[in-house]
Amino acid sequence: MCRVLRRLAAAVPFRPVEPTTSNRESSALFVDLAALVGLAGIVAGVLVLGPTDLGFDRAAAVSALFAWIPVTLPAALVILAASAVNVGAGVVLARAVSTGVSTVHGCVSGPARARRQADHRTA
């Protein structure tokens, strides 16, 4: 089984993709500026229209937000727990990949194989 896995891994070419920084930086700058202008517009609208009849009641808005907490808190806690499990699984997989130990059918590759061979030579 290890041979099959090694053949499959060798058949898939791995080449890291490096993004062009100039394109990404310029588009990210435009997105950041648009978000900043949007937020500034919201703040300006709240300040200008707040005291008028077109504005909103801050107390009613805050009480409406707090009314949704009993509805959304359980879902938020489930998502928080799922995220924690996901991060934990990622840490375990990163550790397994960095040491080179594959738990699939006892296959050992990479640095772990080199350590085992070195240990057998010195023993």
Residue 120 pLDDT > 70: no
φ, ψ for residue 101 (rounded to 5)?
-90, 120
Residue 76 pLDDT > 70: yes
Residue extents of the structural domains in the chain:
25-56, 70-123
Residue 29 pLDDT > 80: yes
**Measured between alpha carbons, how far is residue 115 from residues 3, 29, 33, 111, 121 in Å?**
20, 47, 52, 6, 10
Residue scoring higher pLDDT (18 or 63): 63
Residue 107 pLDDT > 60: no
The pLDDT value recorded for residue 11 is: 64
Averaged pLDDT of the chain: 77
Residue 63 pLDDT > 80: yes
The pLDDT value recorded for residue 38 is: 94
The pLDDT value recorded for residue 95 is: 84
Q: pTM (2 decimals)?
A: 0.41
Q: Are 112 and 121 in contact (CB under 8 A)?
A: no
